[in-house]
Chain A
């Protein structure tokens, strides 16, 4: 991030000199937005979340770790990869859950059903360029608590089990946590 900020500064100071035409040297709109948004996200990060950048020059590759302290998944540690595409903020980031888990809104393959990550939505819940990375982090974190939703499941079996036998559901969630989500 520091490097990118420096890159931005350099670009502005260069503007009275010869213009930079090489596209690869240009800082994209996405990266400009991310410099501000990542800072904001880090300042408002929920206590159950941790973010990491594999490469500090690639703010668009974010690893998010959620360790819920309440609810069915408490005690587990879940890793997400957030890839902010070049189309940001016209398009939402692409998110995958890297930790295998038993959750009605996350498939065992790591696909996530979260309304704010939907590009084409007719209601106000889908993606809009007014949303920020911190909203995505908040949404993913809330999937373990407030946004847990049994009405619109991605993992049908998980929902069916929950509706049939809540104790068995709890047990299965726990088994997955023990096997896959202990750091």
Chain B
């Protein structure tokens, strides 16, 4: 469990008691999960990937258009709105964040 010790060392300087170390690790795990699911922002349109992309928001005539606007993950693990990425790959078939050649790992919500 070397990771556990490292992360608590980095997190704060005041020598933590064992109980404290445990709580900190739990807090970290929750933060990671919520980042992945809720807080990822599409680097193309700068809207959170869980919301409809800027284009769908601009074009939808009623509501948010959320149903059709899905998330796509590349092999590089970067995620974008499928709408945004499908437009960009027509210009340049690379991930705009890491410049790797773009290939889809999975799609969904």
Quick check: A129 and B58 within 8 Å, CB to CB?
Answer: no
**Selected contact of A33 from candidates B45, B61, B87, B91, CB within 8 Å:** B45
Query: Is there an interface contact between B92 and A126, defined as CB atoms closer than 8 Å?
Result: yes
> Are A121 and B58 in contact, with the CB atoms below 8 A?
no
Contact with B along A21-36 (1 / 0, CB 8 A): 1000011110011001
Assess A124 versus B99: contact at CB under 8 Å? Given A89-B44, A129-B44, A129-B84.
yes
Q: Are A32 and B54 in contact (CB under 8 A)?
A: yes
Let me know if A91 is at the binding interface, CB within 8 A: yes
Query: In the complex, which residues of chain B have a beta carbon less than 8 angstroms from the beta carbon of A119?
Result: 91-92
Q: Least Cβ distance of B44 to chain A in Å?
A: 4
B46 within 8 Å of A (CB atoms):
yes
Task: Tell me, yes or no, whether B96 is within 8 Å of chain A by CB.
Answer: yes
Contacts of A120 in B (CB 8 A): 91-92
B88: CB under 8 A from chain A? yes
- Inter-chain CA distance A128–B88, complex, in Å, is 8
Which residues 72-109 of B have a CB within 8 angstroms of A?
84, 87-88, 90-92, 96-97, 99
A130 at the interface (CB under 8 A from B): yes
Interface: A90 (CB within 8 A):
yes
A70 CA / B97 CA spacing, docked (Å): 33
Using Cβ atoms and an 8 Å threshold, which residues of chain B touch A121? 92
Question: Closest Cβ of chain A: how far from B70's Cβ, in Å?
Answer: 18
B43 sits at the interface (CB 8 A): yes
Question: Which A139-182 residues have C-beta < 8 A from chain B?
Answer: none
Closest 7 CB pairs of A and B: A128-B96, A19-B61, A129-B44, A124-B99, A130-B96, A130-B43, A29-B55
Q: Can you name 11 A-B residue pairings with CB atoms under 8 Å? A: A19-B62, A26-B58, A26-B59, A28-B58, A29-B55, A90-B91, A120-B91, A126-B92, A129-B96, A130-B44, A130-B96
Which residues of B are at the interface with A, using a C-beta cutoff of 8 A? 43-46, 54-55, 57-59, 61-63, 84, 87-88, 90-92, 96-97, 99
